[in-house]
Structure 1
Amino acid sequence: MDFKKLFFPIGGGEELRERIHAALLINKYFGSHLSIIACQLDPETVYNTRMTLRGGIMLDEFLRTAKEELAEEQSLNEKIVKEECKKLGITYSEDQHTKNSAFLRNMLGTRSELVEKHSKYCDLVVAAVPPHGVITGTFEASVVKSGKPAIAFPRKMTEFKTDRILLSLTGSTSSARALHNALPIIKNAKEVFCITSQHYLQDGMDETKGRILNYLDIHGINPNFEVVKTEGKVPGQALLKAADKYEVDMIVAGIDTNTGIREIFLGGASKYFLENTKYPVMM
């Protein structure tokens, strides 16, 4: 698939510059246009216009200060995006037809609602993993509810490449969809490592392995294949252990749309995976 437009919501938390830089790295890899949105609540919608704050401070004075702080935050976001674009040789432009470009839009409203709405009109969503691995409404809205392929990346990432890919296959619909979405990238990888677990072997190891390798072969993909042990491990731990073992650049895995990101791989990604991953994962 030719990814022409990427979508990146700036979520909350620290590492603002690092997250923006990482999203731009992914955009540069694809040579696409990155649509970035930053969402804040409008102070006037949060507070009753007739209320008076404690200490006799009138609402209009408070709103004036809040709006000034909002303008400063929006200005800082734009400044950082422009600076990081310049570092990476990316054009800062609203023209989505400009290749290798990015543009930031500041929006007022509930972040998760805006993200869910705007993320549906792109080719690929890129989102930083939530802080401390705790799934946020923004993360789930962009990665799960957009209906688009997504790359979740570590909050600090200094390089994005796809030379070595770990492919997680579980026989699920979401796993098959992730494989389909990532095929163009996997085909260009130098090495591919395919893993599954005993739990997902439908007709025995040889039959399952043969079926997987037969399909990948028609696309010119010849992966290393392993059945990993998941017994006694924290959900998501087997995936990260395999990624470390093979020293991969990216993971490809499916998500269960019924349970969301919580069921990314081998019984659940859980907080452990999101908190500890050093690798971008395409879903």
Structure 2
Amino acid sequence: MNIKKIFCPLIRTDEIESDIYGGLLIAKKFEAHIDFLSSQMDFESILDMTISRSNMFESLKGAFATELNEQKNKNYQIFKRVCDDLGISIGNIAGVASANFETQNGIRSRVYEYEAKFCDLVVTACPIKGEATSTFDAAVVNSGKNAIIMPNSMKKFSMDNILIGWNGTTSISRSLTNSMSILKKAKNIHIIVTKKYDNSVLDIKTRLLSYLEYHDVNATFEVVTTTNIPGEALLENTLKGNFDMVIASSYGENGVKEIFLGGSTKYFLENTPVPVFM
């Protein structure tokens, strides 16, 4: 996958600077363009439906407009400052890391789902407390694009050491193939599966390693034991191996609530210190 255009919906309104910083780190690594999008509710339409036009309407409309414009300008200044700090050009510039920032009015989930369809890769932050929201699902799952989910307050981005959580689904197979350009540049790749595959683990190991070798990608393989907490085994192996990124599966019908190694990812997404490619 040749990544030239990245889309980053700013879902966490109180962590915009952190999410912009993380998104720019990823764009810089890929030498790609990234579009940041913030969404604001169209309060004029809401007021128009609930309050008859009067002096009160005009007063509320003016107050909302002022507050939204102030927040919009504040967010753009944050974006501009972080771009300057990281040496990222502002504008649509091909062949180098560049960025744009835009604020649109509308229902956030609808705005993000539509815009996410016009990119090579979606980048966004882990949802609060690891729980996928309708906005998160709209941007990450419904777009049909691969995504990198950033951990909270990501200060660096590397793709040298990669952990693959194999669970045999169509989704992880697609993630593996779509991440091949990333894997080819990695220095260390490790695949883990759970003991539920005991009867076929040898065949899985042989086939996976053989498939990767066709692309000149070498990897190691390990069978791991899960715990009673879904997602804990993946997190433990991520930390133990000091990995920079995890490649995982997302079950489309359930958003990202049930992925890799079976069970909910709430625990993993809430605690992961590294980004997840899916």
What range is the shorter-chain TM-score in?
A: over 0.9
AA partner of residue 7 (structure 2): F
In structure 2, the residue matched to 1:22 is 22
Cα distance in structure 1, aligned partners of 2:49 and 2:192 = 58
CA contact (8 A) 1:20 1:81 kept: yes
Cα distance in structure 2, aligned partners of 1:257 and 1:51 = 40
Q: Specify which of 214, 219, 223 is matched with residue 223 of structure 1.
A: 219
In structure 2, the residue matched to 1:211 is 207
Cα distance in structure 1, aligned partners of 2:196 and 2:219 = 21
CA contact (8 A) 1:22 1:156 kept: yes
AA partner of residue 188 (structure 2): E
Cα distance in structure 2, aligned partners of 1:172 and 1:69 = 46
Q: Specify which of 182, 186, 208 is matched with residue 185 of structure 1.
A: 182
Cα distance in structure 2, aligned partners of 1:120 and 1:248 = 30
Q: Specify which of 257, 264, 267 is matched with residue 259 of structure 2.
A: 264
CA contact (8 A) 1:198 1:229 kept: yes
In structure 2, the residue matched to 1:276 is 271
| Superposed counterparts of 1:242-261, under 5 Å | 242-261=237-256
Cα distance in structure 2, aligned partners of 1:111 and 1:13 = 11
Q: What TM-score comes out, normalization by structure 2 length?
A: 0.95
In structure 2, the residue matched to 1:65 is 63
Question: Taking structure 1 as reference, are residues 210 and 155 closer, same or farther at Cα in structure 2, changes over 3 Å only?
Answer: same
Measured after TM superposition, the shift of residue 112 of structure 1 is: 0.4
In structure 1, the residue matched to 2:156 is 159
Cα distance in structure 1, aligned partners of 2:46 and 2:95 = 38
Measured after TM superposition, the shift of residue 47 of structure 1 is: 1.5
In structure 2, the residue matched to 1:128 is 125
| Alignment gaps of 5+ in structure 2 | none
Identity %: 39
Tell me the alpha carbon deviations over residues 233-262 of structure 1, each in whole angstroms, 9 at most, x when there is no partner.
311111111101110000001111111101
Cα distance in structure 2, aligned partners of 1:124 and 1:12 = 19
**Considering only aligned residues, what root-mean-square deviation do their CA atoms show, in Å?**
1.8
In structure 2, the residue matched to 1:101 is 98
Measured after TM superposition, the shift of residue 98 of structure 1 is: 5.8
Measured after TM superposition, the shift of residue 13 of structure 1 is: 4.1
Cα distance in structure 1, aligned partners of 2:15 and 2:244 = 21
In structure 1, the residue matched to 2:230 is 235
Once structures 1 and 2 are overlaid, which stretch shifts more, 232-241 or 139-148?
232-241
Cα distance in structure 2, aligned partners of 1:242 and 1:6 = 29
Cα distance in structure 1, aligned partners of 2:50 and 2:208 = 65
| Alignment gaps of 5+ in structure 1 | none
Question: Is 1:80 the equivalent of 2:78?
Answer: yes
Cα distance in structure 2, aligned partners of 1:8 and 1:268 = 27
AA partner of residue 219 (structure 2): P
Question: Is 1:146 the equivalent of 2:155?
Answer: no
Cα distance in structure 2, aligned partners of 1:259 and 1:131 = 18
Cα distance in structure 2, aligned partners of 1:215 and 1:26 = 27
